[in-house]
Structure 1
């Protein structure tokens, strides 16, 4: 089976406790990766929920779907992947990284600095034998029509992947926002500001305007099945 040009991978779920949600109630969230066929290569964005310690598992109660199985359902295997991109290096986004010794894995220098400082993630998920991280210090067009854009917030080194396609640009936004609705609210706040709305208004981040400058037709997220699309 030939992989589709863009395929969402179901990599399991976890329960975010009420201490980490806006309304104080626990919420079950999916963990998604994305398989992208671009320029004759397969690119993988995020690799699933990794093995954690007992305390972390008790806190989030994850149910993991093996990355190899998710890729097989999409007609691919780890050996087919030419490039891995992690939006950031927390354990729920890098679980399958050890399947890729020798494969370039793109991450921001700011994110790798957090790993080196300790306590940011489970190091065995990122410092495995054969790990080949390529550090980026900001925005980069890593392949023609394939852009990495820093989107700090959730972590200092968070990044998004912009995919130029004939049918419209797609942004894989990772955990820039908890949901597509949150992204839509941030986008509308930018519109309100540009059209002279009277304060108070939400404080803007610098990067949503950069993502929107690519004129995306779809924005997809790591922990939300909903998709943002422009009005009209």
Structure 2
């Protein structure tokens, strides 16, 4: 019988988002979370932590970085055990450990790589390292039986999420689709309200949240929020 996939959160540090980037104008400390997925004898890694950018960026976000090898070791793994890396997008706080995976396939959306090639999207040394083996996806892809990469544009044009089918319920690694699980819940309810015929004004909705919900998720996990979305009832 095939091994049931399991998802383990990796704490890779935190950063301080300044008030100029928050809804209430107050600074907020946010975690940098990655996820280790065990599936049919393979280890897949979703995001790799906060990378080094430049002094200005460090001064702006004041990050604390937990080394990825340390976090993997706590989960009983090391970088050489990882078969595939999936980045939700290519900002510096999600790809810091990518250079540890020379020769390992790193899955990104073609739309995201186009942003990188356009310049000023992310520090080049975190993407263009020796042995980098990026595989560009043109959209949805079932990368393994029961594992789906789904485009979820918004935070960036090439943002993507990972769907992990499990016998005890589907898990979605949503990256930075939303700042928090509460924001995701609000978007979910907005869709429900619209489908129920609620009168406008209503929040604008995108197609991709509906696509994610077609997988009937039991849990949705995020890159910068340790809270977990679960369906009500």
Q: Provide TM-score, normalisation by structure 2.
A: 0.97
In structure 2, distance between residues paired with 1:176 and 1:12 = 20
- Deviation readout 1:48-75 (Å, 9 max, x if unpaired): 0001110000000000000000000000
In structure 1, distance between residues paired with 2:39 and 2:25 = 41
In structure 1, distance between residues paired with 2:41 and 2:206 = 34
- Structure 1 residue 23: deviation in Å? 0.5
- Structure 1 residue 5: deviation in Å? 1.8
Q: CA RMSD in A?
A: 0.7
- Structure 1 residue 205: deviation in Å? 1.0
Counterpart residue number, 2:16: 15
- Deviation readout 1:175-209 (Å, 9 max, x if unpaired): 00000000000000000011110000000011000
> Is the partner of 1:197 in helix, strand or coil?
coil
- Deviation readout 1:59-103 (Å, 9 max, x if unpaired): 000000000000000000000000000000000000000000000
Counterpart residue number, 2:205: 204
Counterpart residue number, 2:131: 130
- Deviation readout 1:110-143 (Å, 9 max, x if unpaired): 0000101110000100110000000000001010
Number of corresponding residues: 229
In structure 1, distance between residues paired with 2:155 and 2:30 = 16
> Is the partner of 1:91 in helix, strand or coil?
coil
Counterpart residue number, 1:67: 68
> Is the partner of 2:112 in helix, strand or coil?
helix
Q: Provide TM-score, normalisation by structure 1.
A: 0.98
In structure 1, distance between residues paired with 2:46 and 2:145 = 17
In structure 2, distance between residues paired with 1:214 and 1:123 = 35
Matched, 1:87 2:88: yes
Counterpart residue number, 2:104: 103
Moved over 6 A (4+): none
- What stretches of structure 1 of length at least 5 have no aligned partner? none
Counterpart residue number, 1:42: 43
What is the correspondence of 1:15-34 to structure 2 with a 5 Å cutoff? 15-34=16-35
In structure 2, distance between residues paired with 1:213 and 1:171 = 11
> Is the partner of 1:210 in helix, strand or coil?
helix
- Deviation readout 1:149-182 (Å, 9 max, x if unpaired): 0000000000000000111100000000000000
> Is the partner of 2:72 in helix, strand or coil?
helix
In structure 1, distance between residues paired with 2:88 and 2:183 = 18
- What stretches of structure 2 of length at least 5 have no aligned partner? none
In structure 2, distance between residues paired with 1:171 and 1:133 = 22
